Amino acid sequence: MQRLRNFLQQHCSDNGLIEVIDQIATISKDIAHLIQLGDLAGVLGSAGQENVQGENQKKLDVIANDLLKDGLAALPSIKGLASEEETLPVGCNPDGRYLVLFDPLDGSSNIDINVTVGTIFSILAAPAELDGGDERAFLQPGKQQLAAGYVLYGPSTLLVLTTGNGVFSFTLDSRVGEYLLQRENIRVDTKTAEFAINMSNQRFWKPAMQNYVADLLRGEEGPLGKRYNMRWVASMVAEIHRILTRGGVFMYPWDSREPKKPGKLRLMYEANPMSLLMEQAGGKGSTSTESILSVQPLGIHDRVSVVIGSAEEVATVERYHEA
């Protein structure tokens, strides 16, 4: 089985980008080790503070963020970093060529109950004329990503990535400390009968989304003509990985509890990288009205409504929102 770095050297002509992805992979091994140790390493529980999103940070949120920030900033090729846990971008090396955005530990509400969490990352080219700590440098639509991926910390640790030429999955072999290629050119079925959404928020959604989900629940007797199953893990990494494995659609729509925000999930380091992966695998990423990868960000912590998954089902959601 092919090791990650050997694979990258064969499939990517940009040595600097290879170095960045390899560094993320190396850091993820340390994060995976801490997650596996859990309470034995004293990393569970609250950190006793909030991040820029107003969310209570877990100890592992902070630890994972620091590991990624310090490890990536040490690379001469990194010009700047942006994270869910950082209020502002972090400037690194003035001559660097890349910007990295990341959610250090997606699904952190699952940490203390030993359920799947993950790391999401997105890599952009750094504009030569802007400093790496300048937010404007990062405000690029998702279609300009050079690479994107996630690490899933589950029963096994998996790295799933794209450099714009297909989606590939690697499994961490803890016996040798290496990611080994497991799945090549992953493709997502265009059709599905499985959806993931937090149904407890149904009363807060727009009527179009309420109508769509109501029709899902009507099964064979409804206008969609088939029986659907629902799944919900409360970890975007886990939800997207399931769809890349067996199809489906993941939705986190706008809701009326915070009407001024276009959605819950962050565009730059959650929706964009996951949409790039899904579209590289033949799926689709949408806000329910437009392609996520075409959205022009105004800030690094912008939020967006998310519908990602099997292409035909995403298109169906969009049709419900056309009226």
- State the binding site for substrate: 106-109, 198, 264
Output the six-digit token pair for 7: 């694979």
- Which residues lie closer than 8 Å to 29 by C-beta, 6 or more apart? 157, 172, 177
How far apart are the C-alpha atoms of 21 and 162, rounded to whole Å?
A: 10
> What is the DSSP pairing of strand 249-252 with strand 306-309?
antiparallel
Binding site feature residues = 84, 103, 105-109, 198, 264, 270
Name the CA radius of gyration of the chain, rounded.
19
Output the six-digit token pair for 113: 């109950």
How far apart are the C-alpha atoms of 91 and 98, rounded to whole Å?
A: 11
- Minimal CA–CA distance to 24: which of 60, 77, 62? 77
> What is the DSSP pairing of strand 98-106 with strand 117-125?
antiparallel
Binding site feature residues for Mg(2+) = 84, 103, 105-106, 270
Output the six-digit token pair for 63: 């630890």
